[in-house]
Amino acid sequence: MNMIAAVDNNWAIGCQNSLLVHIPRDQKQFREMTEGKIIVVGRKTLNTFPQKQPLKNRMNIILSRDRQYRVRDAIVIHSIDELLEELKKYDDKQVYVAGGASIYEQLLPYCDTVYITKIDYAYQADAYFPRLDRLSDWELAQESEEQTYFDLTYYFQKYVRKC
């Protein structure tokens, strides 16, 4: 299973249920990597999507503890065990976990590849991604050349779980 996120220098991913910054090339990469695939997100992350609706051209699986919660054009799952059972139906290389913070933390043990857009800036934030650079079972396998968007510098990185 894969994860995908944009993080700042402190591995922050959001503030007050919003992304830290919108970088068009990062959004394009997210779209290209996840279209036609399965994305797993929490309810709060779904609420940050356009019109608070599932993303088009993807199978959207929403994790919510609320058993009454329903979303049109998405599968709603209520526990990690239930999610793992549902994901057995799919090729795990086609599954992308896309947030938020608690979903990343709970599902990191089940992932083997993480795609990070690393933004060279420190934002005020209240949501964080696990610091892969400090975890001994993860290594940086690829990093793009420096990218820029106005005055922001960022890199596309790929982390893989060590064997």
Q: Cβ distance 59 to 66 under 8 Å?
A: no
Could you count the other beta carbons within 10 Å of the beta carbon of residue 138?
Answer: 20
Residue 163: predicted pLDDT? 80
Is it true that the peptide bond before 36 is cis, omega within 30 degrees of 0?
Answer: no
Query: pLDDT for 96-115, tens place per residue?
Result: 999 999 999 999 999 999 99
Distances in Å between the Cα of 14 and the Cα atoms of 76, 101, 109, 128 are 23, 9, 22, 7
Domain count, the chain: 1
Query: pLDDT for 123-155, tens place per residue?
Result: 999 999 999 999 999 999 999 999 999 999 999
Q: Cβ distance 6 to 117 under 8 Å?
A: yes
Could you count the other beta carbons within 10 Å of the beta carbon of residue 73?
Answer: 11
Question: From CA 98, how far away is CA 82, in angstroms rounded?
Answer: 18
**What's this model's pTM, rounded to 2 decimal places?**
0.96
Query: pLDDT for 13-63, tens place per residue?
Result: 999 999 999 999 999 999 999 999 999 999 999 999 999 999 999 999 999
Question: From CA 145, how far away is CA 154, in angstroms rounded?
Answer: 9
Phi-psi region at 57: left, alpha or beta (left = phi > 0; alpha = psi -120 to 50): left
Note down the domain range covering 145: 2-161
- Three-class DSSP category at 90: coil
Read off the CATH number of the domain in which 38 is found.
3.40.430.10
Question: From CA 18, how far away is CA 47, in angstroms rounded?
Answer: 9
Residue 139: which H helix or E strand, with range?
A: strand 138-143
